[in-house]
Amino acid sequence: MEYRYKPQGVCSTEMIIDVDGNIIESIKVINGCDGNLKGIARLLVGMDINEVIEKLKGIKCGYKNTSCPDQIAIALEKIKDGK
């Protein structure tokens, strides 16, 4: 199922995440660090959302309190919690 998330506190403006059960089918991040986010998205395909949350949650970008990977983890938590 496809989910859309509006990240907060980062350069990216939208995350489109497709999951099947707990498995990530695809992730597309709009804006942000294009090459890095495309690479992260490819690495996450096929992974369990719980594993991804554990690995990405809390990563910061420079002086910011969050990052695009952290925002992916937050989006996955919302998906997991049915929000």
Domain parsing of the chain, residue ranges = 2-80
| Largest distance between two CA atoms of the chain | 35
Whole-angstrom distance, CA of residue 43 vs CA of residue 24: 10
Q: Report which of 11, 5, 7, 6 is spatially closest to residue 62, judged by C-alpha positions.
A: 11
Residue 82 predicted with pLDDT over 90: no
Contact in structure between 8 and 39 (CB atoms under 8 Å): no
Mean pLDDT of 54-68: 96
pTM: 0.95
Does domain 2-80 fall under CATH 3.40.50? My reply is no
pLDDT digits (tens, 9 = 90+) for 3-35: 999 999 999 999 999 999 999 999 999 999 999
Residue 83 predicted with pLDDT over 90: no
What is the length of the chain? 83
Q: Report which of 21, 6, 1, 25 is spatially closest to residue 74, judged by C-alpha positions.
A: 6
Mean pLDDT of 41-67: 97
